[in-house]
Structure formats: structure tokens, C-alpha cells
């Protein structure tokens, strides 16, 4: 019977790295999730994209529609001051929403109310279900 202790030789170094990383300010999770958070839904007529953007103005956001995607870009300016804790993300952001259906480019609308950006993308007519009548012959 052979007992392999090689994994224990690195244990002290691994523990030191763990504690070193823990105490470094840059290693704490600083809102690494994507900003802005999105909800994407659809019904038979539209695709809806809703983004939480508290504190942003319409002028701070840029929307672009490409062939298969919607791009939401902008910048949240960091407020000046001495921070003891900062959890709200600041800086330039970009989200890419891949669209799995063709949309009517000329009928897209976007509104911003109470920090929520809502984009309504009407589905193209050719993908909507069409009722076919049956002729009796």
C-alpha cells in the first residue's frame, strides 16, 4: 500500500495564496455581473428588452440594431467623493442581445421610466403564424 502525500506539500502555499487574495481589495467581488441587468421576454407580436438603469438619463444610453442583435451602450459617471463602500457599477458599459427572430426595424420603440429602459421590437410579419383557410372543392 502506497500513501501519496504530495498534495499536502502544497497546502501551506495554497493557504497563503488564499489569504493573500482575500485581503487584496481588488479581489473582492465588485459587481462582476453584467450591467445593466436585463429581462428579455416575448409575446406573439413583440420581443421586449427591459434594462435596469437607475440614475441614467436618455442621453447617457445608445441603442443600435444590427442584423441579428441589439446593442445597448452607455456610460454611468462615477459620483465624486471618498467612498467607504461602492457597490454601484460606474464607467462604460455595453450589452449585446442576440435576437433569434427578425424584427420590423422601422417600428422599434424605446421608453425610459423610473430607471427602467424598455425596448419593444415588433416581430417581422413573415415569422408570425398565419391562419390558412381551406377551400371545399
Assess contact for 49 and 38: CB atoms under 8 A.
yes
- Cell triple for 13: 502555499
- Please report the pLDDT score of residue 55 as a whole number: 86
pLDDT of residue 127: 77
pLDDT number for residue 21: 64
Supply the pLDDT for residue 30. 45
For residues 119 and 95, is the Cβ–Cβ distance under 8 A?
Answer: no
pLDDT for 31 equals 44
Q: How far apart are CA 86 and CA 82, in angstroms?
A: 10
The CATH number of 33-78+88-127 is: 2.60.40.790
- Residue that is written with C-alpha cell 406573439 in the block: 44
Q: pLDDT per position in the chain (137 positions), as tens?
A: 556 555 566 667 766 776 666 665 554 444 456 789 999 999 989 999 999 998 888 998 999 999 889 999 999 888 888 888 877 778 899 999 999 899 999 999 999 999 999 999 999 988 777 788 898 87
State the pLDDT at residue 16.
73
Amino acid at each position: 500500500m502506497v500513501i501519496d502525500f504530495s498534495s499536502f506539500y502544497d497546502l501551506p502555499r495554497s493557504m497563503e495564496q488564499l489569504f493573500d487574495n482575500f485581503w487584496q481589495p481588488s479581489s473582492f467581488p465588485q459587481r462582476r455581473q453584467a450591467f445593466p441587468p436585463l429581462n428579455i421576454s416575448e409575446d406573439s407580436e413583440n420581443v421586449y428588452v427591459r434594462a435596469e438603469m437607475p440614475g441614467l438619463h436618455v442621453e447617457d444610453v445608445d441603442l443600435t440594431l444590427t442584423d441579428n442583435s441589439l446593442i445597448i451602450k452607455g456610460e454611468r459617471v462615477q459620483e465624486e467623493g471618498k467612498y467607504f463602500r461602492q457597490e454601484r457599477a460606474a464607467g462604460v458599459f455595453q450589452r449585446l442581445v442576440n435576437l433569434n427572430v427578425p424584427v420590423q426595424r422601422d417600428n422599434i420603440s424605446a421608453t425610459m421610466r423610473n430607471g427602467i429602459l424598455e425596448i419593444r421590437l415588433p416581430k417581422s410579419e413573415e415569422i408570425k403564424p398565419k391562419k390558412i383557410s381551406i377551400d371545399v372543392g
